[in-house]
Structure 1
């Protein structure tokens, strides 16, 4: 590695530190969860989730692997607090959050297929989503986006041979998300039986595993069927497929956003914005709700910062001019209309459109 490249990575790492600080903020939020831990532990011991409206039997074993069952029994009982409607504010917020996250997961999946992305956390999309199930996406997403930015300078983005993911992975995205994510996500929230919601949530918890295998199997099958040399037409086809994928995911997220908003009782800010920081909540419901709120904010703040940094790189490379003030205003308005999850993947798609619009790209000096 040249000294120039080393200096570049060091500079990019220092420049991107605001992304990494969001992981620290999320760790502070996790410290608020102390009051709810014994409550959930007691429910787990009895295999019964209880609240003012009644009680429901919950599963303590599911996968048949003792370590996995032990880990995810604690996680699924916390999700029961979100999905059983015992706390309506947490229910609606988590529904929006986890529906939105399908779009971010799509980004994780496709970015792993670009030759430019050789850093392991980016290259293997199983790692970050699986860690997010164990540690919280609000902690690991900032780490992912930080290292992504550090190890993916502008020349990697603007070199087609490094940036293009391939037609087969693009085609595989929608069926992968449908089978590995949405098929268990929505039953976890809308199944009329609460016991069934708990069962579906156990399925959903390992979506990173199901998704990785499904994505690999479908993309390999498609690649095997059409073994042809990559052409410019393939690049256009990739973009068309990504447009369809992003628009459909944005539609699902936006529909969920607008389905949710009218059902929220009281100020919307109390659902999506944390009410605690220096002081910690004492009520168990408020503890989990506060953690969820910080989780959402840290995850998407990291994602938007990452996109902003990449647009700054594209501006320096002469690919686009970014009217930052106007762009922030427009993004804010669009975000209110379509929701943060849709906004994130639409801005990501805009980046793809700008890169694809370069008919012939000169590989810049590796700064």
Structure 2
């Protein structure tokens, strides 16, 4: 027993070293947050007056909502920043944030279901409340790279290829869609499309705590389904899980892709100015450009971390002999598909491909336990 422990520790150390590019994205996002200094006093003044103002007018905004002073204090500052995105005072930020947050539902789905796999015992992965809630406070561009880094370090190939460690169960898979519909989409879309700006602000307060609503809803629905269908796990359950995950991913990809194509024709000017940062060494001086730049880096760091994580796992599967990855052709195809369906859809479709490859293994020998 003692002789094998150093090997496990060394393996994790090597995986951590190999995965450092994921972690550097969190550092890039911290640099982006430093660009927000010019907009901070502007938003603070709006919050003091309980009124969001821009060239086109003004709207009353909420300073209290949950009835818990600490929560109200924290999220009052966050929701006034979201008002800058959702009130169409900056059209470029509006369209970008709509795509980003619609896409993020798919990544949130991955957070949720990965927490139900027996192999994933590291707290940041095991409890899907933690990372999404931290993302509301610190920015997903900071915490997503941390999540994917530790996920990779603590999930060697045998945890992926051993069915008893990898399978999440039928009940959690069934619970995904109703959880996302109730806890995420039901408040996300009204935050952007409600004709009343005051109502958008109200719905955004609801949406801000989606990690809490989502974790509770997922737990309750999963338990209810498990109690109704209580039985021993079988191979048929594995097939059923995959079918349910396919339906879930395809529906989420459809929503993200529809939002992507709804958005693109409405963007005025170069699309690159909406999705790609225009600043790095120098910082923007206009408040609108500050928040827009932070949003752009947030999107890039989040999905770059996610795609790197998937690439690392596919590399593990290739070493395990489960698949052969034509990396150059794969990158070209992924780039083309990403342009067509958008980054959010591409991410969950590649994740589903990983699930398909793992499920295609008819029999996997249980590894020796260290």
The TM-score bracket by the shorter chain reads over 0.9
Change (3 A) 1:334 1:3: farther
The CA distance in 1 between the partners of 2:227 and 2:26, in whole Å, is 40
Whether 1:319 and 2:322 are equivalent positions in the alignment is yes
- Note the C-alpha offset of 1:283: 0.1
1:48-98 Cα offsets, whole Å, 9 max, x none, are: 000000000000000000000000000000000000000000000000000
- Note the C-alpha offset of 1:246: 0.0
- Note the C-alpha offset of 1:192: 0.1
The CA distance in 1 between the partners of 2:364 and 2:238, in whole Å, is 14
Change (3 A) 1:366 1:90: farther
Indicate conservation of the 8 Å contact 1:16/1:149, yes or no.
yes
Q: What TM-score results when the alignment is normalised by the length of structure 2? A: 0.98
In structure 2, stretches of 5+ residues that fail to align are none
Whether 1:102 and 2:105 are equivalent positions in the alignment is yes
| Paired position in structure 2 for 1:32 | 35
- Note the C-alpha offset of 1:365: 5.9
- Note the C-alpha offset of 1:101: 0.0
The CA distance in 2 between the partners of 1:280 and 1:362, in whole Å, is 54
The CA distance in 1 between the partners of 2:368 and 2:110, in whole Å, is 27
1:253-292 Cα offsets, whole Å, 9 max, x none, are: 0000000000000000000000000000000000000000
The CA distance in 1 between the partners of 2:280 and 2:241, in whole Å, is 44
The CA distance in 2 between the partners of 1:320 and 1:202, in whole Å, is 45
| Paired position in structure 2 for 1:268 | 271
The CA distance in 1 between the partners of 2:4 and 2:280, in whole Å, is 41
Indicate conservation of the 8 Å contact 1:155/1:365, yes or no.
no
Q: Secondary structure at the match of 2:366?
A: coil
Change (3 A) 1:136 1:224: same
The CA distance in 1 between the partners of 2:13 and 2:2, in whole Å, is 12
The CA distance in 1 between the partners of 2:318 and 2:131, in whole Å, is 29
Aligned length: 367
Q: Secondary structure at the match of 1:322?
A: coil
Q: What RMSD in Å do the two structures reach over aligned CA positions? A: 1.0
The CA distance in 2 between the partners of 1:226 and 1:129, in whole Å, is 30
Q: Secondary structure at the match of 1:56?
A: strand
The CA distance in 1 between the partners of 2:355 and 2:368, in whole Å, is 21
Whether 1:197 and 2:200 are equivalent positions in the alignment is yes
The CA distance in 1 between the partners of 2:3 and 2:210, in whole Å, is 41
| Paired position in structure 1 for 2:11 | 8
The CA distance in 1 between the partners of 2:311 and 2:229, in whole Å, is 36
Change (3 A) 1:254 1:186: same
The CA distance in 2 between the partners of 1:323 and 1:71, in whole Å, is 47
The CA distance in 2 between the partners of 1:324 and 1:220, in whole Å, is 41
The CA distance in 2 between the partners of 1:115 and 1:228, in whole Å, is 18
Change (3 A) 1:311 1:287: same
Q: Secondary structure at the match of 1:118?
A: coil
- Note the C-alpha offset of 1:363: 3.3
- Note the C-alpha offset of 1:364: 4.6
- Note the C-alpha offset of 1:2: 5.5
- Note the C-alpha offset of 1:366: 7.3
Whether 1:303 and 2:306 are equivalent positions in the alignment is yes
- Note the C-alpha offset of 1:242: 0.1
Indicate conservation of the 8 Å contact 1:173/1:215, yes or no.
yes
1:189-224 Cα offsets, whole Å, 9 max, x none, are: 000000000000000000000000000000000000
Indicate conservation of the 8 Å contact 1:155/1:366, yes or no.
no
Change (3 A) 1:270 1:2: farther
The CA distance in 2 between the partners of 1:366 and 1:30, in whole Å, is 44
| Paired position in structure 1 for 2:190 | 187
- Note the C-alpha offset of 1:361: 0.7
Indicate conservation of the 8 Å contact 1:185/1:204, yes or no.
yes
- Note the C-alpha offset of 1:4: 5.1
In structure 1, stretches of 5+ residues that fail to align are none
The CA distance in 2 between the partners of 1:300 and 1:366, in whole Å, is 34
Whether 1:71 and 2:80 are equivalent positions in the alignment is no
| Paired position in structure 2 for 1:115 | 118
- Note the C-alpha offset of 1:362: 1.9
